[in-house]
Structure 1
Amino acid sequence: MTAVDADRLHTVSPDDLPAGRVRAGRILIWLASAVLVGTFLLQALHAAGMLAPGFATWRPVVYAYVAWGIALGIAQVLMRGEQGKRVLFVLPAVLFTVAMVIFPLLFGLWIAFSDWNLSGATGRRFNGLDNLRQMWTDPFYWNALRNMLWYVLAILVEYAIAFGLAMLLNADIRARKFWRVVFLMPLMLSPVAVSWMVGKSMLEIRFGPVASFARWLGWDSPSFFGTPEIARATIMVMDAWTFIPFMMIMLLAGLQSLPREVLEAVRVDGATRWQSFREVIFPLMLPVSVTVIVIRIIFKLKLADIIITVTSGGPGGATDSVTSFIFREYRDRSNVGYGTLLAMVYLVLIVISVTALLSLFNRLLARSHGVSQ
């Protein structure tokens, strides 16, 4: 009996595997990959009208992908032994992510550079960079991007209000639990429900209670969606009313996790409330604040439901967000190719801006941490 046989905990490494077994695993990967790539290219050329042979649907490509995943798992065990068995626990999740994220992204790019209008009779056809040129000269799309800048900047005001409410609910006030539930109620409502309840009912120009109250105050024609500036501000208020409780509850959790010893020491030193907030509470809350703001920005970049339900982007595109504009490009104009290109460009802008923002926040946190040290 060898030492390896006597050691029951011995792990088989790739160096201990026979060369023929490793070679068989590599051949299996190459064969499965060749079948997958060949099936995909055959169907892609057939769908583009460049090749007559092909399949009626893309289902054979899905079958080839599943077969490739199974072959990849078997090949990992053949080539890497025990380490390959560990890979099998992660491989299904990776394959699922590729199937649900990478493939749709590639399909979206394929559609983005094509002229495909569902109301037309010609179907999809490749048009190169025509959609990109149309986007560059589309004033409504650039107007939606400018509106998104205003919507994102409004987060600073939302953050200040949410922080103030969190400080209030963290204080020792009467009926504190009751007020926490009351302030959280807007978060429990769907944005579509808020749109109908507030935008379509309470702000209705003829019989809405808010409009009637505005007339009682002296506003002759209280139209909350008649002018671009007022309409945009009203959308901001409605969206803020829905999501400020979300920011408030996260900031409240951060305030409750602050070390009590530090706060008591500040009080003993005789600091005022403003000094304790500026010098202690706010710096300690910076990591939580950054998380809250980043999450809120992500939600804000998807703003569409309130705009679509209340104004449909009007008046004249003044309240359009990029998401609502792309939605109307699909729904009203059935322009799948152009709408997909707009969505792809918006995705790239989101990735770049959020990455730059996270980098900036990390520097601010590192600088504040260095100052506190």
Structure 2
Amino acid sequence: MSEPEGRSSDPPVDRVALEGLSSDDWAAVLAAVRAELRARDELDEPQAAVAEQPTGRLVAGRGRAQVVELLAGDAELAAAVVQRVPGPVRAAATGPEVPSAAPDAATPAASDDEVVRVRQRARSLREERDAWRRRAEGAQSRAEQAERALAAQAAVQQDLRDTIAGLRQELAEAGAERDRAVVRERRRRDGEVARLEADLAALRRAEESRRAEQHRRERAAQRRAAADHGPSGEAPVPRVPPGRPTRLPADIAPGTTEAARALLGPGRLVLIDGYNLTLNHRADLDLEGQRTWLVGLCANAVPVHRIRPVIYFDGQRASGVRPTPARQGVQVRFTPEGITADDELVLAVEATDEPVVVVTDDRELVERVTASGADVVGTVAFLGVVRR
């Protein structure tokens, strides 16, 4: 009996058999389906939907079910695909052939056994299919979970990067503010230092003015009381013309005792570098003893030579009770902390315009006061005059 018209001579595919194919056989079927769809010029909507899917999504799950549904519903495509797969795969895809039942009463038991075996095979294939489907769905679920975990991790990393960027920005702003604060504080301190320096300079000028005025008053008073001759029994003091520095007569050699007598005349302001003199000539005494000795020596010389001695001591070197500031016309001055006797002597010289004699052996001090117009007498020559 011939086949009905329009039916292909190729055996049709079996849905159950397709679903129960092994992974290797199903890979062969997928390759044949893709090859057949690429070979066609036009595709209907179900065929195009399968052709657009990546192969990885057609291996299991909904993708595999979509391919099985396409082959089960498209006999022409199924026949073409079956022709492309190897024989063993073709046999597995089309399912077992059931021979036409002939009205033969001799073989009913055999037919029943065959049906039972086919059903058992189909059930086994369905169970295997279901197991693979569950595995595929589990793998897909794990893949989706991994993707979500990666996305969450990426979000956390982005948050951390944003936080780090914010902290760096805050650190940069804090550093800039710190630098601005340092600049402001430096400017404030510089202004404060400049103000204090200006105040100190004003105080120094006021002190210099006070001392200059005092010196002028003392000079006027002592000039009125000074005599024009030297001590009794001695040769008259050589007269020297006033000036700064003093011009000695041609017959008097500078640096001699005679020159000292000429310079230490009546009414002459004499500024004495106290410790420079005492340490060179009475180092055997303590500092207080040295001061007392020098003040007494000058006090004895005042009524004899009519000089106006002012003794300067370094204030930081004084210890114990200081001597009486004045004895018989002798003035004793101690320098403030941080200022040396040399500096005070230079200021005193510069504060007056009258002739002034400085008693010292300090070479540096000699250069400084000489530059300001003062006369200088060495300590040996000074003692040679006042001890007489």
Pairwise TM-score range, normalised by the shorter structure:
under 0.3
> Normalised by the size of structure 2, how large is the TM-score?
0.21
Q: How does the TM-score come out when normalised to structure 1?
A: 0.21
Bigger fraction of residues in strand: 2
Flag the structure with larger Rg: 2
Between Structure 1 and Structure 2, the one with more helix by share is: 1
